[in-house]
Structures are given as C-alpha cells and as structure tokens.
Structure 1
Amino acid sequence: MKKWRAVLLDTLLMTAGFGTLTFMSVARPDIIKHFGIPESAYELQHIAYVFGLFVAFLIGHTRLYEGSFKRSVGIAVSWAAIPQMLIPFVGNWDVVVFLRFIQGFVVGLVPLFSTQIARYFIAERPFAKGIILSGIFWGGVFGSISARYLLGYVSWSMGFIITGIIIYVVYVIWYLFTEDFEIRHPKAGEATVNIWKLPFTWVLGFTFFPALWVIFTIIGFSSSLGYKIGWTKEHVATLSTTLNVSKALWSIGFGYLGYQLSRKNTDPRGLFNAIVKVMVMAYAIAFVGLTIYSKAMLDGNYTLALASVILVGALQGTGPAFWTSAPATYPQEVVPRANFALGLISNSANAIAPAITDILARHSETLALAELTLMPLVGIITLIVVSRMKLPVEE
C-alpha cells in the first residue's frame, strides 16, 4: 500500500507542477497587454520553456540531484514555483522569457520519480510510471480549467502568485507522506560502466525521440493550422484538451499492458522485451492516428481531426515503457545517471522539433504533416535495432 500511495502522491505533484504552468497560456491576452508586446514576441516564452525541458536533463546529469530524494524533488518543483511567483513582479519581457526557460527544468521530476519506483517495483514499473506520467496531462487539462475559473476572481498577476503557492502546498503534502532515500552517483573510478560510451545508451535514448518530436510539436502546430483553416478558439481548445486526455489515458493503459507483459519474465532481457513490445504497439497506433490526422487537417475536417487525436495520443504510451528501461537494463549503481542521460538524448527533440516543423510548414503544410506522420515509423525501426543489442547489465 505504501508503494502505491507514493505513486498517487507523485502523480498529484506532477499534476500541480505542470498544471499551474498552463496559466501562462490562459492569461495570454492580459499578459500581452501588460507587457505591451506583439503576438510574435509572446511565443518566445513557449520556445524558451520547451528548450528548458531539454536543458533540464543536462543539469540533472550533474550532482545537483544527489543525496536526499525529497530534497532533490524540492529543487525540481522550485524551478516551476519560484519563477511562477516572480513573473508578476518583472517589468522586462526578456526576463520573463528567461524565467519560462527556468520553469522547463521542472521536468527533472520525471527521472527522479523513475529512480524512486525502480526501488519499489519490478514488473509493475511501467504501470506505476504510466500513472505518474499521466499527471503531466491531467495537469494540462485541469490546470487550464482552474486557471480560467481563477481569472474570473483575481488578476492575472495574483493568479500567478497563487498557483506558485499551490505547487509548494502540494509539495509539503507529498513530503510528509513520502519515504526518503539517498540518490548516489558513482564517483570517478567507482562506476562499473560509462553510460555515454555505450552505443546502447544512444540508440535507446533515440527510441523515445520520435514520440517527443510529435508530442511537443503537434499542439502548437494544430492551433496555428486550425486558426488558418478558420476554426474558432473553442474548436482549437477542445482539440488540445482531447489530445491531453487521450495521452493521459494511453499513458495509464499502456503502463498496465507493460506490467502484464513484464510479469511473465522479470529478468533484464524479459523486462526489456516487454518494454520494446509496448513501445512498438504505441507507435503503430499513433502512426494510424497521424495518418488520419493529416488527412483531416488538409481537408479542414474538424470532426475527423478530433477523432484522430484520440489515436495520436497513443504516442504517450511509449513513455511509461521508456522511463522504466534504465532500471531494467543498466547496473543498479548507474540507474539514476542513466535516467538523466536517456532523458537528455530523447528530449533533444524539444530543442529542434517545433522550429523544424514550422519551417517545413511555411514551405508546405503537406510536407510538415508527412514529417510528423513518419516519426512513429522511425521509432519502430530504432526499437528493432536496440532490441538486438546487448544490455549494459549483461556486459
């Protein structure tokens, strides 16, 4: 019971940490008016935030997140909470953009929680991780709804302060009921394996790269293309909400599937084979969804587009499996560092995907949609390659 309580508390903290960050998009008109900036300048904060998601894993590979697990999680949530409360007091838009970059570091929660559940579970790891990761998308859904409600009673600046405080309130609750442990990185000469010198690390990291490429691109791309087609704000918001709910449910569903497959064979190779199967199935469903989505967007068919994103959300089904791959395949002493290394490689998509897709869309919307649609196939090919490689724990 203690183990699953930790999973639920982690999910709650993920929901709070990522949910409050949606306030920036909900308060968009008020913020643009307050800072007196054009629409194009406003988008810089989102680009900075997404790039921060990538840099977070580079920082996490250092000794910053070493020692107390509870303290490390406190640092991770502070990246979101402190800038959230500072933004209302900043008079310069460039500083706001920088603070949004810092807020991206909150994604450090993902590998930290992966290290935690690796201590509690074996076969159940994908299911536990699927529930925890769903918090990101529940945060997007409920954060958006609550932010709209809150803006009806307080100013946007007070809303930022309140949501920053909410993150810390949830963290205190999490802290009181969560078991602490020590995160230890091997010192020079102690590690039995150098994860960066292993081809396996690079190939495994890139198995999640195509999923993140689409996940961090499609909502913004859908919004811009939807408005161009002539859809209303409500249409675009509903499409985004449906995709977020879909990703949350697929995350839990594929996590449970991973658990059922993993329990049949809990040695490293058996666990890894289950991981590969889950990710391949998720990519296959997402490929069908993206094919339908592309046709819907080119035809301007809103009903078909809304139905397609339910399948596209299956991309997130790759997440629970991927984030349990390190404890299944690496020696135990390097698992925390491996989690951040794999996150750094896979999240490099965040730094380039939106910009490249935007460039392609300016040339041809069909070309941009084709690029997104082919990404799941790239993921499947990479998974086939990595499945034939020797695991670090087998070395």
Structure 2
Amino acid sequence: MGRWRAVILDTILMTAGFGTLTFMGVAKPDIIHHFGISSNEFELQHIAYVFGLFIAFLLGSTRIYEGSFRRSVGIAISWAAIPQMLIPFVGNWNVVVFLRFIQGFVVGLVPLFSTQIARYFVSERPFAKGIILSGIFWGGVFGSISASYILGRIPWKESFVITGLIMYLVYIIWYFLTDDFEIKHQKEGEATVSIWKLPFTWVLGFTFFPALWVIFTIIGFSAKLGYDMGWSKEQVATLSTSLNISKALWSIGFGYLGYLLSRKNTTPRGLFEAIVKVMILAYIVSFLGLVTYSKGILSGNYPLVLASVILVGALQGTGPAFWTSAPAVYPESLVTRANFALGLISNSANAIAPTITEVLARYSIALALAELSIMPLVGILTLIIVSRMKLPIEVKD
C-alpha cells in the first residue's frame, strides 16, 4: 500500500500547486481593476505562465533537482507558492507577468514524480501516472472553485496569500509521509547513449507536443472568448471547471487503459506499443471534441461548448502514456535525464502556442480554432512514425 499512498500524496500536492493554473483567470475582473490594465494586457500573464512550463524543463539539466527527492519537490512547489504570495504586493504589472512566468516552473513536479513512480511500478505505471497527472487538472478545478468562493468573501490580495500558504501546508504533510531517495543525473559525457543525439528522443518528444499545444492554450483562450462574447464570470468558471474535470477523469481512465494493455506484454517493446495505442485513441476522441468545440464557439452556443469539453479533455489521456515512456524505452541510467529532455521537447509547445493562437484569433477566430483542431491529427501522424523506430534500450553499445 505504500506505493499507492505515494501516488495519492503526489496527486494532492499536484492539485495544490496547479491551483495557479486557473485561479488568476477567474480573478480577472479584480486584477484588471486593480492594475488598470486592458484585457489583452491581462492575457500576457497566461502566456508567461505557459512559457514558464517550457523553460522549467531546462532546470532538469542543472543540479537544482539533484540529491534529495523530497527537497527537489519542495523547490518545485515553491516556484508556485512564493510568487502566489508576492503578487498581491507588487505594484507593477510587468513584475506580475514575470512572477507568473516563474509559477510555470511548478511543472517540474511532473518529471520528478515520473522518476519516483518508475521505482515502484512496471505495468501499473500508466495508471499511477494518470492519477498523478490528473492532479494538474484537479488543481485547475481547485483554482476555479476556490477563486469563485474566496473572492466573493475576502479581498483578492488575501485570497492569493491564503492559497500560497495552502500549497506549503500540503507540502509539509506530503514531506513527512513520503519516502526519500537520491536523484542522480547521468552526466552526458559519461553516458553510453546520448539523449539528444538520438532521433528517437526528438520524435517521441513531439508525440506529446500537439496535446500540450491545445491543453495549455485552450484554458486561457476559452476564458478570453467567453468574456468577449458576454458570458458571465460564473459561466466562464463553469467552463474552466468542466474542462479540467474532464481532463482529470480522462487522465485516470486512459491511464488505467494503459495498464490493461501494458500488463499483457511487459517487455520494452510491449510497453511502448501500449503507450502508442493509448495516445492514438486519446487523440481520436479529442479531435472529435475540438471539432464540436469549434462549432459551438463560432455559433456562440454555450451549452454545446460546455458539452464539447467532455471530449476535448481526452487530450490529457495522452499524458499518462507519454510520461511513462522513458522508463520503458531508455536504459535505467538515463531515465531521469530522458524525462526532462522529453518534457523540454514536448513543452516547447507552451512557448509558442498561446501567442500563435492569439495572433490567429485576432485575424480570424475560425482560423485559430482550425489550428487547435488539427493538432490531434499531427499527434497521430507523429506516433505512427515513432512506433516504427528502434527503442534506445534496443540500441547495442
């Protein structure tokens, strides 16, 4: 039971840390009024946040996450908690945007927990990782609900401080109930296989790229479109909450499917084939959802948009499979480095997707929606390509 306890604790900590995903979006009217900024200026904070999600993986090549696992997780959660408590006391909007960029570094929890889970599971990895990754979107739900509840009762400044303190409270509980271990990074010069010189690494990394392109763009994009179309704060919050619940449930569901497929063949090739099948299925379902979502947005049909996010959330079904690929296909000495490398490649979508989507939307909402809708098809094509490549663990020295 110890290993499943770790899964639950990791999920709860992810939920606390990723409350930052949506909390500020729901607080948009209060923030705009306080700083005297426009709606477009407000969107800069979301772009900065998702760009931070990309830059966060560069830290995996440094010594900042080397040594104690529990200490490393404490650093990762601090990227979210400290800026959350500082934002209310900053008078310059540009500084707030920078703090939101720093908050994106909280995604470092993902590869850290992947390294932990690889120690405990084999065929159950997708299921365990699916549960943990669902914490990102439970965090989105937590951020939306807590913002709607707290902001209606106490000033927004105190709300930010309280949620920052909650993150640390959850971390303290997690710390004392979690087993520690040492994280060691294989130096590139000492490795028998170079992560970055393998074409497989790049192609595998890009299999998750299309999912993240949409996942971390559609949250802010939907809120902006909703307010522009005259939807209320409650409607925007409900849409955000529904989307995040959908992603969380799909994450767990597809993670369990990955487990069912993985246990049939636990060889590296068998595990990887299960990963590919799960990701392709998730992309197919999400494509149907994005087409429906686009139709709802263009017609201003809120009920249709709300219903469509049930399918759009299937994008997150790719996550549990992707984040269990490194321990399945790389030599053990390279798994930690591979987790961060794959995260850096896939999360490069976060660096450009929101900006590109925003630019396209200014020209044509339909064009921006078409760009988002085609991403699952790009993901399927990339998965077909990588499925025919030799695995790093199959490469002989």
State how 1:257-296 maps to structure 2 within 5 Å: 257-296=257-296
What's 1:360 paired with?
Answer: 360
SS of aligned partner of 2:190: coil
Change (3 A) 1:143 1:228: closer
State how 1:96-115 maps to structure 2 within 5 Å: 96-115=96-115
Aligned-pair distance for 1:226?
3.3
Deviates more, 1:286-295 or 1:312-321: 286-295
The reply on whether 1:141 has 2:138 as its aligned counterpart is no
State how 1:132-281 maps to structure 2 within 5 Å: 132-281=132-281
Q: Distance in 1 between matches of 2:94 and 2:227?
A: 27
SS of aligned partner of 2:133: helix
Q: Distance in 1 between matches of 2:346 and 2:42?
A: 27
Aligned-pair distance for 1:136?
0.9
Query: Structure 2: where are the runs of 5+ without partners?
Result: none
Change (3 A) 1:104 1:366: same
Normalising to structure 2: TM-score of the pair?
A: 0.96
One-letter code aligned to 1:183: I
Aligned-pair distance for 1:188?
5.0
SS of aligned partner of 1:189: helix
Q: Distance in 2 between matches of 1:328 and 1:294?
A: 36
What's 1:78 paired with?
Answer: 78
Query: What is the CA deviation profile of residues 38-60 of structure 1, one whole-angstrom value per residue up to 9, with x for unaligned ones?
Result: 33322221111111111001122
Query: Structure 1: where are the runs of 5+ without partners?
Result: none
Matched-pair contact (CA < 8 Å) for 1:57–1:341: yes
Query: What is the CA deviation profile of residues 225-279 of structure 1, one whole-angstrom value per residue up to 9, with x for unaligned ones?
Result: 3344443333332222211111000000000000000000101000000000000
Q: Distance in 2 between matches of 1:82 and 1:11?
A: 20
Q: Distance in 1 between matches of 2:19 and 2:359?
A: 29
State how 1:305-316 maps to structure 2 within 5 Å: 305-316=305-316
What's 1:54 paired with?
Answer: 54
What's 2:39 paired with?
Answer: 39
Q: Distance in 2 between matches of 1:261 and 1:107?
A: 27
Matched-pair contact (CA < 8 Å) for 1:20–1:167: no
Change (3 A) 1:72 1:255: same
SS of aligned partner of 1:208: helix
Query: What is the CA deviation profile of residues 314-363 of structure 1, one whole-angstrom value per residue up to 9, with x for unaligned ones?
Result: 00000000000000010111111100100000001111111111222222
- Taking every aligned residue pair, what percent have the same amino acid on both sides? 79
Change (3 A) 1:196 1:313: same
Cα-Cα RMSD: 1.5
What's 1:8 paired with?
Answer: 8
SS of aligned partner of 1:393: helix
Query: What is the CA deviation profile of residues 371-392 of structure 1, one whole-angstrom value per residue up to 9, with x for unaligned ones?
Result: 1111111000000000000000
Change (3 A) 1:393 1:79: same
Normalising to structure 1: TM-score of the pair?
A: 0.96
One-letter code aligned to 1:167: M
Change (3 A) 1:59 1:93: same
Matched-pair contact (CA < 8 Å) for 1:330–1:392: yes
Aligned-pair distance for 1:20?
4.7
One-letter code aligned to 1:144: S
Q: Distance in 2 between matches of 1:203 and 1:108?
A: 21
What's 2:349 paired with?
Answer: 349
What's 2:88 paired with?
Answer: 88
SS of aligned partner of 2:154: coil
Deviates more, 1:26-35 or 1:370-379: 26-35
Matched-pair contact (CA < 8 Å) for 2:11–2:135: yes
One-letter code aligned to 2:22: T
Aligned-pair distance for 1:32?
2.5
One-letter code aligned to 2:284: A
Q: Distance in 1 between matches of 2:188 and 2:372?
A: 41
State how 1:22-37 maps to structure 2 within 5 Å: 22-37=22-37
Change (3 A) 1:59 1:37: same
Matched-pair contact (CA < 8 Å) for 1:55–1:105: yes
Q: Distance in 1 between matches of 2:186 and 2:20?
A: 35
Change (3 A) 1:96 1:336: same
Matched-pair contact (CA < 8 Å) for 1:21–1:80: no
Change (3 A) 1:302 1:153: closer
Q: What count of residue pairs does the alignment treat as equivalent? A: 395
Q: Distance in 1 between matches of 2:215 and 2:294?
A: 15
What's 1:338 paired with?
Answer: 338
State how 1:121-140 maps to structure 2 within 5 Å: 121-140=121-140
One-letter code aligned to 1:163: T
Aligned-pair distance for 1:21?
5.2
Matched-pair contact (CA < 8 Å) for 1:200–1:390: yes
Matched-pair contact (CA < 8 Å) for 1:360–1:367: yes
Aligned-pair distance for 1:34?
2.7
Q: Distance in 2 between matches of 1:229 and 1:95?
A: 29
Matched-pair contact (CA < 8 Å) for 1:30–1:156: yes
